[in-house]
Amino acid sequence: MAEEKKKSADPAVLQLLAKCESCEGLPTTMWDRYDAMQPQCRFGELGVCCTLCFQGPCRINPTGKEPVRGICGATDYTIVSRNLLRRIAAGTAAHSDHGRHIAHTLHALIEGETDAYSIKSEDKLKAVAKKVGITAEGKDTMQLAKEVVDLALEDFARQDENVPLTWLKTILTPERMEILERCDVVPYNIDAMVTETMHRTTMGVDADPVPLIFNGVKCAMADLAGEAISTDLSDILFGVPKMVVTQTNLGVLKEDQINLAMHGHNPVLSEVIADMADEMVDEAKAVGATGINLVGVCCTGNELLSRRGIPLATNFASQEAVLMTGAVDAMIVDYQCVMPSLGMWAQCYHTQLISTSNLCRQAGDVHIEFNPKTAKEDAKRIIGLAIEAYKNRKETDIEIPDYRETIVVGFSLEQIEEILRTQSDDPYQYIVDQLKEGKIKGFAAMAGCNNLKTCQDESHLTLAREFLKNDIMVLATGCAAGALVRGGFTSSKATQEMASEGLKEFLTTLGKGMGLEDALPPVWHMGSCVDNSRIQFFMTTLANKMGVDIKDLPIVASAPEDMSEKATAIGTWLVASGWPVHVGIFPFIHGSPLVVQVAELTARDVYGGFFIFETDPNEAARRLSNIIKHRRWKLGIDADEEIVYPTGETAADFFEETEPQKANTANGGK
Amino acid sequence: MAEEKKKSADPAVLQLLAKCESCEGLPTTMWDRYDAMQPQCRFGELGVCCTLCFQGPCRINPTGKEPVRGICGATDYTIVSRNLLRRIAAGTAAHSDHGRHIAHTLHALIEGETDAYSIKSEDKLKAVAKKVGITAEGKDTMQLAKEVVDLALEDFARQDENVPLTWLKTILTPERMEILERCDVVPYNIDAMVTETMHRTTMGVDADPVPLIFNGVKCAMADLAGEAISTDLSDILFGVPKMVVTQTNLGVLKEDQINLAMHGHNPVLSEVIADMADEMVDEAKAVGATGINLVGVCCTGNELLSRRGIPLATNFASQEAVLMTGAVDAMIVDYQCVMPSLGMWAQCYHTQLISTSNLCRQAGDVHIEFNPKTAKEDAKRIIGLAIEAYKNRKETDIEIPDYRETIVVGFSLEQIEEILRTQSDDPYQYIVDQLKEGKIKGFAAMAGCNNLKTCQDESHLTLAREFLKNDIMVLATGCAAGALVRGGFTSSKATQEMASEGLKEFLTTLGKGMGLEDALPPVWHMGSCVDNSRIQFFMTTLANKMGVDIKDLPIVASAPEDMSEKATAIGTWLVASGWPVHVGIFPFIHGSPLVVQVAELTARDVYGGFFIFETDPNEAARRLSNIIKHRRWKLGIDADEEIVYPTGETAADFFEETEPQKANTANGGK
């Protein structure tokens, strides 16, 4: 049992892994493959392996002995930086292509080419129009939507290098835009940034880690804009998430219903499936099921969870486990974080693995190319396949772990503002007051993936637990949110059990304000990974309210299980926006002390944000909590409080965060 | 001596390497670093190493033993294809960003923001306008130029996925466009293709090698358009290359002059330096030099060589050797293929290493950011630095190898057409006739890089020698052209010594037609690596004349020393255009038999083009010559000729090229 504990913090996952271990002839799990891959290539882990030209592969000796240069002459910092940039470019490409696809769907609606969609939130449309500088007055909904979507597509099309991305300006403080402009890292076109990054990292182009890393920052800022476009246009098309009570974990699968698991990231198809499922209940009943049960996986799951309360079955690492239940009639995948092993697992059961984007085909898939123009028909065909598959279910295969959590999710920024407005007409002032009173000490954004280099979800849960103990409110997205909902952090009960006194009072007050008997949950599920833009918008608005910048706010971010290249792009724009960002899995840069120093220290001087690389979640929580303490002290909130360093603290841990400030104070302050 | 022979086919390079070996304290050469890097990682060379997520690095066992899947479940073909696609995306990014920068320069000229440029070729402007469908009538030069450059930028900006890239349509036969449309590989926006390719290859997106590779083809077609834009706009701005007699090899450096070596790819700066150098001769004389000597390196060198007859010092692999002469006062780099070791070498001498693009900084550089708006001043500052540096030259450091070749270069397509017009009003019909008469059997495009996995230039020379023996005319670009000019292949003498009878007659006739006493050279230097678009336009025009497609023409392409990711992009669009493409260095795909099969065989079925991976240049030449023979036979030119397989030939070598056709013939033909 001790060994199994290491694999996942989720007992539902452990139950299924144990089940599979006792069966013959089943495919490997991700955990098996992780073990089989040991030991992993140390050159690769350190980022000092270069395959960017056919004279290679080259690998630098990270200990400083020969070879210290690749064949072309590239040193550790060049190789590490180039590899890092390509990851940022890939992450940016993924997030922003997602945004582009939503824009095209909205465009198809406006052009009258599809009847599968509608503008679900006119309020959001107006709010977005306003923030990007479009007047709503005198325009009907479709006209306004057209202007918004055209402006969004302009962020992919603009050829004037002097005009910044529209969506970037909306999501940063004026001070931040100034810093970025000063550093020449304000992108003008998202796609052009991806191209520039790929060009710059080609053999014989940039060898200097400083412009390389600045380019990485610029590309990551394009990622932020791409995410913001994704979130805004999704809200317009599919509605702004509202607080909703629902359930999560594998126990949400139903033995007597057609189980459709929707996996990936982009809600353009899954939203239509959710619309169409109701219409097909009779067909489901005709094959003996009592209904159609929709569940989500990964970030498509988070999108559906937030907007419709559709239960989230699980997060990234346990996507195979969804199939291991034997109860899934169809798993529908759009794109991103879809494991190529799913086909193997689907084939062990009656499950149909249905791919729907030509961007993301899988071995063993049935491919139904999704097109916004034929979305309803596509959705019906997909549901039809699931209904057909149900007939082939084998009762003996089925094992649905009896784990499900009741959760409160749907914390869009609009929802949060509505909650705060129950206390004050000025919701952000209310937050400022609560911060000043110390009811809440600060905010921790928990984001990112699963990564089997550590026990699934465990670090997410540990960090959140520590934050809540310290009056730090947790805002969660993506697979971090997936971990925290399943781990029991998004209920009133969690507030009672885990929140410190101030936080509990804050959440109880807000719960009562909303007419609830209980406190709000201590972790607010804010959506999928592109919805990190919601968190950023939240903090930018708060900073503007306080007349400071994100770099001054008592906030931290953490991706304790970073896995995807998308996480690298997110982490980079967070740092460049002024966030302290903890990363729990070393991101292939430690082969260059210089690059690590830039990430940990130089970034702080330039942007006010910085990376903290720390595999131990308790240590990470301690450092992050201290940063919040320190930032409160710098803001003058807790000016009198002496920061007590726990025994065993090394000075280096805080030096950059605290010492210069102390020095300034000694000299009479700035 | 035998050992040195292995390093380079160029005696000038060998002389300098020998000089450096005898000195103490000098930095490593690329050859030293190549040796130090042995043995290279076999996983990387086979393409089965994946670092696309932080659960990795993963490496598949290429022998079929465990592990056969990465942690996420990706198999060899998924990993190999994804890595391949990223190389294509990088190559496309590099070529097309280059095109974008030329477009921006032209734009600055049109907007009156710079006095450093002019429209050097109105004829080319009109020709380009015509082929992209812009009427020239009633428009002045600047207005026409504006329309052309706006349309070029539209290929980076277009958001309508149904409209193909303008520049792609201009450079393919109608049949080819149809094939590409059928395969859904016609791109609409160059940058968006780079983004899509990066997105598709992100963790958990495409796992299927077929759509992955098709996407690679689509991205490579965007690369072709980017190259064509680069060539067309460069010709408009800097003039269309004309035949010119000049010199090459390291002996073109001059002991008594200020030596400026211009290296990289984009001519926007080096053209202005060439303009300004004349104005600064007095300053050069003031420091004791007799003048300013401009030389080129790599593809910036090829651009200057083609348009101005500025001597080419050397190609990629021996860029360090240029500095080893101790006679270079400044090496000016723009971007691409610039070795990060140059700074070390520059610092050994008085040489200034001047970087000019913020995309391409180097350790030890002096950075003078080049801007089209201040181009003249930038150029003067750069030349001024070289003049200053000259004062610090040490006579004892100087060793200029006494090797220089007299060469005839400048074979733009316009120049070729002019040459052919001396024989016929219908130049392409003349080519057809010559092909039919067998004076020339076909064309070989020789392109690509240097790669120290083989002896510098040797394979280029061997292949060209074999082609010329077989009446195959050689068209060369990039570092292949750099090898062939230095190797003595671009003179009348070469025609006398190396060309077979038919080819000799063809070239002598053309030479006389041009009013020369001697034959034209047997290898036509057609420009830099983006100028592969010239070769493609040539063959498309020829195919249109013959009413066939590129896949039917007796043509082959070869990159015997492929090194850069750009070469992967070029090779891919050549294959997808119907070219047989030889590659002499294995391109990190042999870890997936499936991907290799697609490249060698499936591509042939779909596109008519295919890859040949062969490290032995003699064997490659034999196979490529046979393909030309076979294609002539298929065209009915040599219908009676029986194709004789040399002893020891394996059936597999030709099966796909010849057997199906034989079968069809046996059945009465198609």
Min Cα distance B272 → chain A (Å) is: 21
Chain A interface includes B341 (CB < 8 A): yes
Q: pLDDT tens, B500-529? A: 999 999 999 999 999 999 999 999 999 999
pLDDT band at A640 (very low <50, low <70, confident <90, very high): low
Size of interface A-B (CB pairs under 8 A): 314
Number of helices and strands in chain A (H, E):
29, 16
Whether residue B628 contacts residue B556, with contact meaning beta carbons closer than 8 Å, is answered with yes
pLDDT at position B62: 87
CA dist., res. B156 & res. B96, Å (int): 9
Residue A58 has its nearest CB partner, among B37, B73, B358, at B37
Q: Residue B489: beta bridge partners?
A: none
Share of chain B above pLDDT 70, in %: 94
Structure-token match 């459709």, residue found: A260
Whether residue A13 contacts residue A249, with contact meaning beta carbons closer than 8 Å, is answered with no
pLDDT at position B642: 55
pLDDT at position B641: 59
pLDDT at position A670: 29
Chain B interface includes A299 (CB < 8 A): no
Whether residue A486 contacts residue A11, with contact meaning beta carbons closer than 8 Å, is answered with no
Q: Residues 353..382 of A with a Cβ closer than 8 Å to B: which?
A: 358-363, 365
Q: Which of the residue ranges A157-161, B435-439, B653-657 would you say has the lowest mean pLDDT?
A: B653-657
pLDDT at position A62: 87
Whether residue B88 contacts residue B220, with contact meaning beta carbons closer than 8 Å, is answered with yes
pLDDT at position B640: 63
Chain B interface includes A572 (CB < 8 A): no
User: B97, B199, B451: which to substitute to probe chain A, counting the most A Cβ within 10 Å?
Assistant: B199
From the list A612, A545, A617, A547, the residue with the least C-alpha distance to A574 is: A612
Share of chain B above pLDDT 90, in %: 93
Q: pLDDT tens, A215-267? A: 999 999 999 999 999 999 999 999 999 999 999 999 999 999 999 999 999 99
pLDDT (mean) for A12-36: 94
Chain A interface includes B59 (CB < 8 A): yes
From the list A341, A343, A347, the residue with the least C-alpha distance to A326 is: A347
Reduced to 3 states (helix: H, G, I; strand: E, B; else coil), residue B248 is strand
pLDDT band at B23 (very low <50, low <70, confident <90, very high): confident
Reduced to 3 states (helix: H, G, I; strand: E, B; else coil), residue A639 is coil
Chain B interface includes A565 (CB < 8 A): yes
Phi, psi of A567 (to 5 degrees): -65, -35
In a 10 Å sphere around its CB, with 0-12 CB exposed, 13-18 middle and 19+ buried, how is residue B394 labelled? exposed
Does A575 score more than 80 pLDDT? yes
CA dist., res. B525 & res. B245, Å (int): 12
Whether residue B535 contacts residue B526, with contact meaning beta carbons closer than 8 Å, is answered with yes
Tell me if B565 and A51 make a contact (CB, 8 A cut-off). no
Whether residue B21 contacts residue B13, with contact meaning beta carbons closer than 8 Å, is answered with no
Tell me if B206 and A59 make a contact (CB, 8 A cut-off). no
Does A455 score more than 80 pLDDT? yes
Q: What share of chain A is helix, strand, coil (3-state, %, to 5)?
A: 55, 10, 35
Q: Which tokens sit at B260?
A: 């400026």
Report the 10 Å Cβ neighbour count for B586: 17
Q: Residues 391..450 of B with a Cβ closer than 8 Å to A: which?
A: none
Tell me if B74 and A340 make a contact (CB, 8 A cut-off). yes
pLDDT at position A668: 32
pLDDT at position A650: 40
pLDDT at position A235: 98
Chain B interface includes A453 (CB < 8 A): yes
Phi, psi of A352 (to 5 degrees): -90, 125
CA dist., res. A429 & res. A663, Å (int): 31
Residue B33: list chain A partners with CB under 8 A.
67, 69-73
Does B660 score more than 60 pLDDT? no
CA dist., res. B312 & res. B304, Å (int): 8
Does A2 score more than 70 pLDDT? no
A184 φ/ψ sector (left φ>0, alpha ψ -120 to 50, else beta): left
Whether residue A620 contacts residue A626, with contact meaning beta carbons closer than 8 Å, is answered with no
Element (H, E) at A264: strand A258-264
Does A408 score more than 90 pLDDT? yes
Report the 10 Å Cβ neighbour count for B662: 10
pLDDT band at A39 (very low <50, low <70, confident <90, very high): very high
Phi, psi of B322 (to 5 degrees): -60, -40
Q: Which tokens sit at B124?
A: 């080319």
pLDDT at position A64: 85
Parallel, antiparallel, or unpaired for β A580-583 and A555-559? parallel
pLDDT at position B643: 53
Structure-token match 């292509």, residue found: A97
pLDDT (mean) for B135-150: 97
pLDDT band at A643 (very low <50, low <70, confident <90, very high): low
Q: pLDDT tens, A315-369? A: 999 999 999 999 999 999 999 999 999 999 999 999 999 999 999 999 999 999 9
Min Cα distance A317 → chain B (Å) is: 9
In the sheet where A405-409 sits, what is the strand order?
A: A366-367, A352-355, A330-333, A258-264, A292-297, A312-314, A244-248, A405-409
pLDDT (mean) for B150-175: 96
Reduced to 3 states (helix: H, G, I; strand: E, B; else coil), residue A550 is helix
- Kindly identify which residue of chain B lies nearest to residue A38, measuring between CA atoms: B58
CA dist., res. A652 & res. B591, Å (int): 46
Q: Which tokens sit at A301?
A: 């799951």
Residue A156 has its nearest CB partner, among B192, B452, B588, at B192
CA dist., res. B37 & res. A79, Å (int): 15
CA dist., res. B156 & res. B272, Å (int): 26
pLDDT (mean) for B96-108: 97
CA dist., res. A116 & res. A268, Å (int): 10
What distance lies between CA A47 and its chain's CA centroid? Answer: 24
CA dist., res. B538 & res. B527, Å (int): 13
Whether residue B522 contacts residue B499, with contact meaning beta carbons closer than 8 Å, is answered with yes
CA dist., res. A535 & res. A36, Å (int): 38
B494 φ/ψ sector (left φ>0, alpha ψ -120 to 50, else beta): alpha
Min Cα distance B333 → chain A (Å) is: 10
pLDDT (mean) for A526-530: 97
Does A541 score more than 70 pLDDT? yes
Q: Who wins on pLDDT, B652 or A224?
A: A224
List of residues 6+ apart from B211 with CB closer than 8 A: A358, A359, A361, B200
Tell me if B362 and A83 make a contact (CB, 8 A cut-off). no
Say how many CA atoms lie within 13 Å of B284 toward its Cβ: 22
Report whether the peptide linkage leading into residue B593 is cis, meaning its omega lies within 30 degrees of zero: no
Element (H, E) at A3: helix A2-7
Whether residue A148 contacts residue A134, with contact meaning beta carbons closer than 8 Å, is answered with yes
pLDDT at position B639: 67
Reduced to 3 states (helix: H, G, I; strand: E, B; else coil), residue A579 is coil
Say how many CA atoms lie within 13 Å of A518 toward its Cβ: 14
Q: pLDDT tens, A163-189? A: 999 999 999 999 999 999 999 999 999
Reduced to 3 states (helix: H, G, I; strand: E, B; else coil), residue B68 is coil
Whether residue B506 contacts residue B434, with contact meaning beta carbons closer than 8 Å, is answered with yes
From the list A247, A233, A356, A232, the residue with the least C-alpha distance to A308 is: A247
Min Cα distance A516 → chain B (Å) is: 40
Does B664 score more than 80 pLDDT? no
Residue A83: list chain B partners with CB under 8 A.
51
CA dist., res. B248 & res. B273, Å (int): 19
Say how many CA atoms lie within 13 Å of A504 toward its Cβ: 10
Chain B interface includes A183 (CB < 8 A): no
Domains of chain B, start order: 76-159+166-238 (1.20.1270.30), 250-397 (3.40.50.2030), 406-666 (3.40.50.2030)
End-to-end CA distance of chain A: 57
CA dist., res. A27 & res. A8, Å (int): 19
Q: Which amino acid is at B395?
A: E
Chain B interface includes A153 (CB < 8 A): yes
pLDDT at position A24: 87
Rg (CA), chain A: 24
pLDDT band at B64 (very low <50, low <70, confident <90, very high): confident
Whether residue B218 contacts residue B386, with contact meaning beta carbons closer than 8 Å, is answered with no
Does A655 score more than 60 pLDDT? no
Min Cα distance A120 → chain B (Å) is: 25
Instruction: Give me the sign of the Cα torsion angle B154, B160, B166, B172.
Output: positive
Q: pLDDT tens, B214-238? A: 999 999 999 999 999 999 999 999 9
Q: Which tokens sit at B107?
A: 């734009």
Chain B interface includes A266 (CB < 8 A): no
Chain A interface includes B82 (CB < 8 A): no
pLDDT at position A50: 98
Per the prediction, chain B carries an average pLDDT of 94
CA dist., res. A104 & res. A109, Å (int): 9
Tell me if A339 and B204 make a contact (CB, 8 A cut-off). yes
